[in-house]
Amino acid sequence: MEKRLSPRQSNVLFEFFCEDGGALRLTADDASAQAARFPSEHAAGIRAAHGGSFVLDGVLMDIKKKRVGDDPSRTRSVILRYEAAPSFSFALTEHEQLFLSLEMSHMWDRYKQLQEKNKYITNTVFRLYMVLFIFAAAPFTLQRFTSTGISRVWGFGGVWLALAVWFFCDRSFRAYGTHWFEKTFCLRQIDQIRKITVGLSERYNHYSLFPTAPARGRKEVREHTHISRSQVKFTVYFYKFVSLFQPFYLTLFASLILFPDEMSDPNSTVTRTLFLRVMLGFSFIFFAWLMLSMDRCFGILKNTFRARRISKHRPQMKFPRETDINLPGAGFFRTSRDLLRVFAIVVSVCNLIRFFYLMQNVQPSFGYWWTTLDWHLLSATVFIFVSTYAHDEAYVRSFLKAAKRKFPLPDDEAVQNPLPDGSPNG
Query: What percentage of the chain reaches a pLDDT higher than 90?
Result: 27
Angle between helices 245-258 and 151-198 (to 10 degrees): 160
Confidence of residue 282 (pLDDT cuts 50, 70, 90): very high
Beta-bridged to residue 56, according to DSSP, are 59
Confidence of residue 75 (pLDDT cuts 50, 70, 90): low
pTM above 0.75, yes or no: no
pLDDT tens digit sequence for 338-357:
999 999 999 999 999 999 99
For the ranges 2-11, 275-284, 415-424, the lowest mean pLDDT is seen at 415-424
pLDDT tens digit sequence for 2-30:
344 456 777 788 888 776 666 777 888 88
For residue 291, the model assigns a pLDDT of 92
Pairing of strands 59-70, 77-89: antiparallel
Torsion sign (Cα): 325, 331, 333, 338: positive
> CA Rg, the chain, in Å?
31
End-to-end Cα separation, the chain, in angstroms: 47
For residue 413, the model assigns a pLDDT of 40
Average pLDDT over the chain reads: 81
Confidence of residue 377 (pLDDT cuts 50, 70, 90): very high
Most confident of 138-142, 357-361, 365-369: 357-361
Q: What distance in Å separates the CA atoms of residue 192 and residue 196, rounded to the nearest whole number?
A: 6
pLDDT tens digit sequence for 197-254:
887 677 777 777 777 765 544 445 555 556 777 888 888 888 888 888 899 999 999 9
Pairing of strands 23-31, 59-70: unpaired
pLDDT tens digit sequence for 300-338:
899 888 888 887 777 777 888 888 888 888 888 889 999
